[in-house]
Every structure is written in structure tokens, then in C-alpha cells.
Copies of this chain bind each other. A is one copy, B any other.
Amino acid sequence: MKCTVFVPSHITGFFEIVEHHNPLIKGSRGAGVTLNRGVISQVNVTDGNGEIIIKTNGSNYPLEGSVSYKTLDLLRKQFPEEIRWDEKKITIHHQTQVPIEAGFGVSAGSALGTSMSLSKLLKLPLTYNQAAAVAHRAEVELNTGLGDVMGAVMGGFPIRLEPGAPGFGKADRLLDDKVTVKGYEKDFKDINFEDIKYKSIGKDGGELYVISKSLGTIETSSVLKSPEMTRRVNKVARELLGKLISSPQISNFMDLSLEFAQKTGLIDEEVMEIVEVMKEETIGASMAMLGKTAFSISQTPDSSVEGVMVAKVDSCGCRFF
């Protein structure tokens, strides 16, 4: 038995770290954007002797320290009796469509792909949020992320109002994740509703692009573990969420993100140079948190920056396919 899950990439624009002894409540507040590229996980469960194989882009990685293995292990501990784990062979293949350790939430994608797939294939008694919460917990316990699981579940432009796993935290979205309407160029009076009556409603109907350029990697856990950085991040972040809620527009989200990147000192000169070029050409640009990556939201896929990755905004969130 196998299944495939797509988890959109989630880029955080700004965030506030919220500590809690319960990993399901610990997390971050903040805002971000999800992409129609991310992590595709194909998971296969067959009869076996407890073998576990985890591959990312075709390569094996050590199980220890891997967020996928951590997720699997949490499920195993949560359901020790219900499933005969030692009589299964579990194979997890992740394919990443975005750079790793560059602020695209690949670890959240891997964790969610694992928890959603295994919950479904093993028929675990978990709801959508309960399965996603296991992925959040794995992220928090390994310090690989604090809000990407919630973001990837929401889709669009997630606003994380209260920290925690899906079902524990609280999230909303910017309304305007699709700016233009496609394919209805005719005059309003001439619209024949029959034309669209049975049309498949595509998730890509909108035309809003996320243009990004990655210059290298930052290990999220190295930043999340530093108390000094936590203090600085939280001091800057505290008022940004309120500012976004009172004017929940994409341009404002991007302005606040750049303010965050600069005031925390997380953005370096190299990334800032690209951000400045992107800013001129788009709705707004900043640095992906946490990665050595410049990103922008644009109404066109064009960019004068060389070697960019162009994606669309995802508006649906983590899903099977």
C-alpha cells in the first residue's frame, strides 16, 4: 500500500518565537507565503521485518536526526499496540522541488508527508489536524522549524496568530492570495455562466508569483537554539503581527518582512543586494526566514535577477494526490 502527499513550500517573512514546555503549543507567530512547489512524499508500507528506508531525492540519509524518522518514531510511540511495526517494511521517498536549508520549509514538508501518509496507510485513528500535529512536534523537538507545518497546512499567505501545531495554534490567511482573474476577459454582461458551470476549479487560477533566489544554506536549528537571537527576533517581531492584521495586504506583509529582516540583522549584504533589485520590480521583497534566500511576490513571472526560481502561490495547503 502506498500513497503520495504534496506539501507546499512555506516561506516565513517574519516570526516571533513562543516557548512552551508542551511541543504542541510551542511554536511561532508570524506570516508567510506558500508555493505551488514543495515536497512530494511517496510512502510505501508492505509486510516486512521492521525495516525503515528514508530517501530524499534518491539518496539515503542516516535515520537519527532526520525529521521524517522522528515523525515516524512519534507515531510508533503513540500507537505501540495498534500497529505491528516490527512486521512492516516502511519506505519513504521525498522529492524536493525547492532548495534544502534555504528557508523553504523542506523539513516541515518531509515531516508532514511522513505523518499524513503513514496515518492514512496504517489507518491510524487520527484526524487531519492530529496527523499534522505529529509533524509539528517532530519539528519542534528537533529545532528544525516552529511554524512551517501550520503554514503548509493553511496554504495561501498564512498568518500564524497563535503558536502551536494545527488544532492547537491559531491561523488565518491574507484574503488576496489571488489578485487577478484568469480566462474571463469577456465583458461582464456577456459572461455565459454555462461556460464555467462544470469547469474544474484549478488551484492555479490566480496569477501571483513567488520569485526567489537562494545563495546558500542556514541551519535553522543553529539560529533557533541561540537565546540572544531569540531575544532580538522577538523584540522586533512583537508589533509586526498587529500591523499586518490592521492592514492585511500583500504589499504590507512584504514591507513588514523586510523591516524584520533588517532590524534583526538576519539579512546580510549579499541577500540585501538582490532584495533591492527585486523590490523595484515586484509587490515587495525580503529574505526567507531562515535561509540565505531572497524572495519576492510579483504579478509577473519576469525578473532581471539571474537564476531565480519562479513559483506560483499555492492556495490549498498540504494534500494527498
Contact = CB atoms under 8 A, between A and B. Distances in A.
Interface in A163-201: 167, 172-178, 181-182, 184, 188, 191, 193, 196-198, 200-201
A127 B321 contact: no
A321 B120 contact: no
A182 B3 CA distance: 10
Using C-beta atoms within 8 Å of the partner chain, give the interface range for chain A.
Answer: 35 or more
Contacts of A116: 175
A316 B172 CA distance: 15
Contacts of A6: 201
A124 B52 CA distance: 51
Contact of A191 (B42, B126, B317): B42
Given A4-B184, A125-B246, A188-B91, A193 B320 contact: no
Contact of A175 (B127, B203, B321): B127
A250 to B, nearest CB: 11
A248 B177 CA distance: 31
A316 B120 contact: no
A172 B205 contact: no
A126 B125 CA distance: 36
Contact of A172 (B91, B123, B167): B167
A320 to B, nearest CB: 4
Contact of A40 (B193, B203, B246): B193
A178 B128 contact: no
A131 interface: yes
B119 A197 contact: no
A78 interface: no
A62 interface: no
A131 B175 contact: yes
A174 B127 contact: yes
A191 B58 CA distance: 11
Nearest to A183: B321
B245 A127 contact: yes
Given A97-B197, A321-B201, A321-B202, A159 B42 contact: no
A315 interface: yes
A181 B44 contact: no
Contacts of A184: 2, 4, 42
Interface in A190-226: 191, 193, 196-198, 200-206
A319 interface: yes
A203 B201 contact: yes
16 contacts: A57-B193, A95-B193, A95-B196, A127-B159, A127-B175, A128-B172, A130-B175, A131-B175, A167-B172, A181-B320, A201-B203, A201-B321, A205-B320, A206-B321, A315-B320, A316-B316
Given A44-B188, A128-B172, A315-B316, 6 more contacts: A97-B198, A127-B245, A128-B173, A200-B203, A201-B203, A205-B320
